[in-house]
Amino acid sequence: MMKKAKRVAYFGYYIKKLNKDLFKKFLKYAKEQTGKSTIAIWFDIFRCSMKYNTSILEYFQFGFYKPTCTEAEKAAWAGTGFMYEFQGYMNPRKYRDLLENKIVFDKTYGKYMHHNDIALEDLKANVTLAERVLANPSGKIVFKIKDGGCGKRVEVHEAKKYNASLLAKYMEDNQFDLVEDFVQQHEVINNLAPSALNTVRVITQLRPNGTVDIIGCRLRISVHGVTDNLAAGNIAAVIDTDTGIITDNGVYSDITKHEEEYHPVTGLKIKGTQIPFWKETIATAKEVAALDPRNHSIGWDFAITSFGPDLIEGNREWCKLLYQLPAKKGGKSVLENYRKEFN
């Protein structure tokens, strides 16, 4: 009874936070594909949410609307409700600042970050720090907020427009907390998708015995914009954990778009791409995952540069869509097994 009440409460939250335009788009597409009525689909959305702990949009993104999707396949997907509970247990809220506050994160994991990253408070205390970012070889700088995620409040500017005083003023006026180098990615990645910094997501699980497992690896691939997030209309692909080779086509989180064998702008084939410095990337991911044992399940984002992996951020609420959609199957059982180890 308690589980049912919790899922009803979750459903109310999903309705409150629902992207209505995206829902209408997905609903229209599902009706066209299945011939089902709006009422029938809404009824099934609620049924699946109660049974499988999934959100409204995930009903479409996980393919639950398809007549060919079996109940066993539906049960395999890790939805928003499940992930909220899993990540809340693995990464306690009282330690969220270690990862979510970019200023705290930089001080903890700075050893693995090979780009300049300066907080506004540090810049105001010592304006000479500005030269570190303004003179970076890319000629660009990136403004961020300390608690941003999923590309939230990110701006890329030409460095030549600023000096030390203008830099601090712009950050204060626009409520930015950090300024950093625009990281120049490896030519293999840049040739594939040059519009943004394309990061490798490595999901790690720190087990009770102190060992670190790799749950999955993905390349986020920008299409047109200045960020690489799936939610911004970009694509993602599975990277083989052992080899660092992309094993399948790129996929969107938008169900109305087909998967991409070739990048839609550059025309380069996605599957078969070898991610440079792969052994170094995996080794670094395992090292940072073991650095602080208070958070156990983390999604680490790395830029791959000509010098090797450059840590960008760690995510305690790593994206279930990025984890599962490129693999084209649910990954809940893997997470359930890790959860059992902590009982």
Average pLDDT, the chain: 95
The whole-angstrom separation of Cα 104 and Cα 106 is 5
Mean pLDDT of the region 308-329: 96
Could you report the per-residue pLDDT of 245-302, keeping only the tens digit for each? 999 999 999 999 999 999 999 999 999 999 999 999 999 999 999 999 999 999 999 9
Could you report the per-residue pLDDT of 214-245, keeping only the tens digit for each? 999 999 999 998 889 999 999 999 999 999 99
Mean pLDDT of the region 311-338: 97
Mean pLDDT of the region 76-89: 97
According to the per-residue pLDDT averaged within each range, which of 92-101, 152-161, 264-273 is highest? 264-273
Could you report the per-residue pLDDT of 97-110, keeping only the tens digit for each? 889 887 888 889 99
Q: How many CB atoms are closer than 10 A to CB 257?
A: 12
Mean pLDDT of the region 115-139: 91
Long-range Cβ contacts of 16-19 (<8 Å, 24+ apart)? 18/56, 18/57, 19/57
In the prediction, which pLDDT does 73 show?
Answer: 98
Q: Please answer whether residues 236 and 250 qualify as being in contact, where contact means their C-beta atoms are separated by less than 8 angstroms.
A: yes
The whole-angstrom separation of Cα 8 and Cα 184 is 46
In the prediction, which pLDDT does 148 show?
Answer: 63
Q: What class does CATH assign to 91-102+186-340?
A: alpha beta
The whole-angstrom separation of Cα 143 and Cα 118 is 10
Q: Dig out the tokens for 246 from the structure.
A: 């992309």
The whole-angstrom separation of Cα 252 and Cα 230 is 7
Q: 178-181 and 117-119: which strand pairing?
A: antiparallel
Q: What class does CATH assign to 116-181?
A: alpha beta
170 pLDDT higher than 90? yes
In the prediction, which pLDDT does 127 show?
Answer: 86
In the prediction, which pLDDT does 149 show?
Answer: 58
Q: 235-238 and 212-221: which strand pairing?
A: antiparallel
151 pLDDT higher than 70? no
In the prediction, which pLDDT does 96 show?
Answer: 85
Q: Structural domain boundaries of the chain?
A: 2-75, 91-102+186-340, 116-181
Task: State what percent of residues in the chain have pLDDT above 70.
Answer: 98
* Segment among 68-77, 158-167, 208-217 with least mean pLDDT: 158-167
In the prediction, which pLDDT does 98 show?
Answer: 87
